[in-house]
Chain A
């Protein structure tokens, strides 16, 4: 946990719409037994989402209001398959607002230790260990060298030389 995470209280900014957001993230990234993955509605991940909305707070509120309006009331109280159908329609009608929902969800889901382990990424920050990257085979550049200069030569007075 970094300073940024520690300093942010587990605020609950969307008291009214929390159930809506919970339903949305669960539809977006559901748990998977096949891949051994939690859903984005897993309590720890969802708490992280609520805590980490940050600068997206105004747009997220707008997105949640729009989903509620789209659902004609409370999304979370509707049957699950109806929720999924409504959200699919919402996503294609309001791609920008859907994008905000996706961003706040993915930012926390894809840093959870269980998820990172399942997708084969070490659960650590990049620094200080860094990563290995193949140097590559420099002889691949032989044909590029063989072709010779490709820049436009400029002579005195701006003429082609």
Chain B
């Protein structure tokens, strides 16, 4: 058996890194167990001529396709939206685009404002200092003065608009609709030892330049300097408890497949909206027959994924192609509820640049725009480097029928049951998707695009994993309290996307990390009454 630690964090992704760094100042003995490994920036696809091919090989976004040693299978057959993640130090931030919006103030109050779902037990004002701290730690580039948000600081200048941002921005001006350069977890200047972005355009498969804020280059180096221990290639199977109903530590499999018990005084889950309910459900015991921290029955339920629509077009003039961070600007024009649109809540657009030649050919052939045979070359030349468009990120409302359970048959390499996803699109989501497709076509037409293609929902876009262990004041309606502690197990905390009460209509990582910092702050300020 290993020596007891004060705090055991499980998962070294976006939230695990933030909470580890924040707790370091307590000088407690803190250990993080992570099932994956450290990444070598020199090994990222953008360093080789096969950079595009590797996006569907060892850097595929689906763990079911990647099937690396760090991955566990996810049965997503019963979902129109397939799950994407990355397992390793940095978690999903290794592959994320670094598009970095905050939630809006209204997102925390959907019940009060719109009479649906539930309000969060915390609000924008509570999180504001943690958003700002996190922006500094991750190195966020942005342009001051976005009218879609209350005033916020800018750490450094924004990523370039390029031809894409300008062409679509002019169209938005013609339509009188909001747009703005995206907040991005991409440093545009030398920052804390990180080199500035050189527009590799490969944020989605790891940044070889180290400009993108993945937590292996932001929080982790600082946390490790502050003597936090991070043990990689250790996959946790379950949390153990004692007669008092307190967590005593976790069992994990090391790189050699040996099962080891790690005792701890406090356990913090940071395995994401699928990994965390998986381990809690797998920790069922005589004391907790429905899974750990699950007296509400809500562990694994209310899974929210953000349905995406994609709308792309082609232009006569050359656009940015595969150069530059894929996402450049955003629009929050249709974000806040307007019932005349036929749905509640809303969505944002991310405006995106083009793709490399391989992806342009594959998409062009799939969309019927590039033929086989004689006409292939001429059609490819017309389209390649000439495309731009957008995706809409639609607010997903919590529904108990959308959920993570344990698959009765499928297991990972260590024999731990795999998660199974059951997910349906709601009527509200469908209407929102349709609305965003129709407005997206209007935008592209106003920008002069032709050969417009649409997809809704985008199938391989289940990368925002939220809601499966939500926070709230009422133990019957939530899994953790308003500061992240399990209602049932007083020394168990959850800090990842599972705790989201509602999803908002923006990418979640900025909020996931702000919440993790907030919970860490609560732990620090309540240290002497933490288990009361």
> Interface of A with B (CB < 8 Å)?
1-5, 27-30, 32, 34-35, 37, 52, 54-56, 84, 87-88, 91, 95, 99, 102-103, 106-111, 115-116, 119-121, 123-138, 140-141, 143-145, 147-154, 157-160
Nearest Cβ on chain A to B203's Cβ, whole angstroms: 11
- Selected from A3, A34, A106, the residue in CB contact (under 8 A) with B365 is A106
Q: Whole-angstrom distance between the alpha carbons of A54 and B190 in the complex? A: 38
Q: Knowing A28-B372, A135-B161 touch, does A127 contact B46 (C-beta < 8 A)?
A: yes
Most chain A CB neighbours (cut-off 10 Å) among B53, B163, B176, B384: B53
Q: CB within 8 A of B173: which of A91, A110, A144, A151?
A: A144
For chain B, residues 323 to 360, give those with C-beta under 8 angstroms from any C-beta of chain A.
Answer: 323-324, 332-333, 335-337, 356-358, 360
* Inter-chain contacts of A111 with B (CB < 8 A): 49-50, 52-53, 357-358
20 A–B pairs (Cβ distance < 8 Å), ordered by A: A2-B49, A4-B58, A28-B376, A34-B377, A56-B56, A106-B362, A106-B365, A107-B52, A110-B357, A123-B49, A125-B49, A126-B51, A129-B198, A133-B320, A134-B161, A136-B165, A140-B166, A150-B335, A152-B105, A158-B109
Q: Decide yes or no whether B123 CB sits under 8 A from chain A.
A: yes
A interface footprint on B396-421 (CB within 8 Å = 1, 0 otherwise):
00000000000000000000000000
Encoded as 1 (CB less than 8 Å from any A CB) or 0, chain B from 173 to 200 comes to 1001011110000000000000000111
Query: B285: CB under 8 A from chain A?
Result: no
Given contacts A103-B362, A133-B162, contact A87 B377 (CB under 8 A): no
B136 partner residues in chain A, CB cutoff 8 A: none
Residues of chain B within 8 A (CB-CB) of A123 are 49
Verify B44–A127 contact, CB threshold 8 A. Answer: yes
Contact A125 B357 (CB under 8 A): no
A160 touches B113 (CB 8 A): yes
Q: Contacts of A152 on B, CB cut-off 8 Å? A: 104-106, 113, 336-337
Interface bits B367-386 vs A (CB < 8 Å: 1, else 0): 00000111011101100110
Chain A residues closer than 8 Å to B467, beta-carbon distance: none
> Taking the nearest CB of chain A, how far is it from the CB of B116, in angstroms?
13
Q: Do A151 and B202 have beta carbons less than 8 Å apart? A: no
Given A28-B372, A126-B201; A109-B377 close (CB under 8 Å): no
With contacts A4-B48, A151-B336, A158-B119 known, what are 18 further pairs, Cβ within 8 A? A2-B50, A35-B378, A54-B53, A107-B50, A111-B50, A126-B201, A126-B322, A127-B46, A127-B202, A128-B209, A129-B198, A137-B166, A141-B169, A144-B179, A145-B145, A147-B178, A150-B335, A154-B105
Name the distance in Å between B114's Cβ and chain A's nearest Cβ.
10
**Shortest distance in angstroms between B276's beta carbon and chain A's nearest beta carbon?**
28
A3 to chain B: which residues have CB within 8 Å?
43, 48
Q: Which residues of B contact A130 (CB under 8 A)?
A: 198-200, 209
Docked-complex contact B113 and A102, CB < 8 angstroms: no
Point out which of A115, A130, A160 has the most chain B C-beta atoms below 10 A from its C-beta.
A130
How far, in whole Å, are A140 and B173 apart by their CA atoms in the complex? 8
What 9 A-B pairs have minimum CB-CB distances, sorted nearest first? A158-B112, A130-B198, A136-B161, A2-B48, A131-B323, A133-B324, A110-B357, A158-B109, A106-B361
Beta-carbon nearest neighbor of B357 in chain A? A110
A151 with B105, Cβ < 8 A, contacts A119-B381, A144-B178 known: yes
Q: Is B39 an interface residue (CB 8 A)?
A: no
Q: Which of B6-14, B147-155, B220-228, B522-530 contacts A (4 or more CB under 8 A)?
A: B147-155
B residues adjacent to A (C-beta < 8 A): 43-44, 46-54, 56-58, 60, 65, 67, 104-106, 108-109, 111-113, 119, 123-124, 143, 145, 147-150, 160-163, 165-166, 169-170, 172-173, 176, 178-181, 198-202, 208-209, 320, 322-324, 332-333, 335-337, 356-358, 360-362, 365-366, 372-374, 376-378, 380-381, 384-385
Chain B residues with Cβ below 8 Å from A99 are 362, 365-366
Cβ contact of B57, chosen from A54, A115, A158, cutoff 8 A: A54
Report B-chain residues with C-beta under 8 Å of the C-beta of A153. 105
CB pair A55–B180 under 8 Å, yes or no, is no
Q: Which residue among A4, A30, A115 has the maximum number of chain B CB atoms within 10 Å of its CB?
A: A4
Chain A residues near B46: list those with CB within 8 A.
125-127
Contact A102 to B362, CB < 8 A, known contacts A133-B162, A135-B161, A151-B106: yes
Q: Which residue of B lies closest to A137 (CB)?
A: B166
Nearest chain A CB to B372 CB, angstrom units: 5
Q: A4-B48, A135-B160 are in contact. Are A154 and B169 (CB under 8 A)?
A: no
Assembled-state Cα–Cα distance A104/B379 (Å): 19
Closest residue on chain A to residue B104 by CB atoms:
A151
Residues of B within 8 A of A32 (CB): 377
**Complex contact B123–A154 (CB within 8 A):** yes
B380 contacts A119, C-beta separation under 8 Å: yes
Of A4, A87, A127, A145, most buried by chain B (CB within 10 Å of CB) is A127
Q: How far is the CB of B40 from chain A (nearest CB, A)?
A: 11
Complex-state Cα separation, A124 to B49, whole angstroms:
6
| Chain A residues whose CB sits within 8 angstroms of the CB of B200 once the complex forms | 126-127, 130-131
Assuming the A-B contacts A55-B65, A103-B362, A127-B208, are A147 and B166 also in contact, with contact meaning beta carbons closer than 8 angstroms in the complex? Answer: no
Q: How far is the CA of A52 from the CA of B179 in the complex (A)?
A: 41
CB distance from A87 to the nearest CB of B (A): 7
Q: Which residues of B contact A120 (CB under 8 A)?
A: 385
In the bound complex, what is the Cα–Cα distance between A29 and B376 (angstroms)?
A: 6
| Contact for A149 among B53, B54, B147, CB less than 8 A | B147
Interface centre among B106, B145, B322, B365 (most CB of A within 10 A): B365
